[in-house]
Copies of this chain bind each other. A is one copy, B any other.
Amino acid sequence: MLQNDLLLRTLKGETTERTPVWMMRQAGRYLPEYIVLRKKYGFFERCQTPELACEITLQPVNIVGVDAAILFSDILVVPQAMGLEVELIESKGPNLPNPIKTVSDLIRVRVPDVNETLGYVFDAIKLIKQELNGRVPLIGFAGAPWTILCYMVQGKGSKTFDEAKAFCYMQPQLAHQLLQMITDTTIAYLKGQVAAGADTIQIFDSWGGLLSPDDFEDISLQYIRQIVNALKDEVPTIIFAKGAWHSLEAMAATGAAGLGIDWCIHPQMARKFAGNNVTLQGNFDPAKLLSPIPVIKKEVKNMLQAFGPGRHVANLGHGILPNVPVDHAKAFVDTVKEESTKLYAQQ
């Protein structure tokens, strides 16, 4: 049914004719067409209005030519659905004015009926699938429970999320109770995304890399594993735990189809850690998209050769920066398509 199913086939480990490519935050501020909508509508208005979410989701498919669409939304819709107030002031980042600090705060949090609280996401997905009309697959997503806890406890962005970590170290029982509630909500939410039409799911653990290897297993991965288990018979899942290179082997063992890596690990070392039964996704340095186009082309070629043909989804190692010229993003996407086609033909 899909005209371009390169992403799905690559996630399943099937042979393809080239490397599929998409970019984290591909529907975002580097696109002038997005800026127009951003000026007219508030962040949650854009997320909660299926027509707007659909239009934004499709922009990079139409403008940049990526091989997959990713739902326009935010990981913080989950704590919002669980009962916490969430403000997204785009110049300042997220703000949760009443974060979770002690056991008495749990009274304000629930595992919600996702159809009631997040139905607008499922509606957006249905509309996107209709508008995509089989051109490329649609990626659904959610934050990993640890990353969601970071915001629920710290209340805002942070370099180190010390308060969230201290919460886990000082009140471990409470932390695990909250992590399980987030996990249960996330599983229902992602099952709803799949039922609505998402072809694959990415779990973003943006702050997984702040934890030691042991804590990553205890506080993050055991909950991600539950999510992957709940979904793996339905769609392929991708885990992107930024910076958690030390647990690539453990993440591969969850049964996830794909693992995202950032630019701070060499693709060959990531492959060594992750083994051969998982697809790797990444890992172009987003800041390098600011380089002149000939440098981008050269570096993309190096990246493709470092991963080698097969079991690779080309992507950035983190979200695209707002100040990247659209031509540079296009150069990234086009070079992946051209150079990987050559690389695969040489096999």
Give the B-binding residues of A (Cβ under 8 A).
Answer: 159-160, 162, 165-166, 169-170, 209-213, 215, 243-246, 263-266, 269, 285-288, 290-292, 295, 318, 321, 323
Contact = CB atoms under 8 A, between A and B. Distances in A.
Contacts of A285: 165, 212, 215
21 contacts: A159-B159, A160-B287, A162-B290, A162-B321, A162-B323, A165-B287, A165-B290, A169-B288, A169-B295, A170-B291, A170-B292, A209-B264, A210-B264, A211-B264, A212-B263, A212-B285, A213-B266, A215-B285, A243-B243, A244-B264, A246-B266
A343 to B, nearest CB: 19
Contacts of A323: 162
Contact of A291 (B159, B162, B169, B288): B169
A23 to B, nearest CB: 16
A290 B166 contact: yes
A328 to B, nearest CB: 11
A211 to B, nearest CB: 7
Nearest to A295: B169
A225 B220 CA distance: 37
Nearest to A284: B212
Contacts of A287: 160, 162, 165-166, 169
A285 B266 CA distance: 25
Contacts of A264: 209-213, 243-244, 246
Contact of A290 (B169, B211, B269, B290): B169
Nearest to A213: B266
Contacts of A286: 162
A323 B210 CA distance: 18
Contacts of A265: 213, 246
A290 B295 CA distance: 46
Contacts of A209: 264
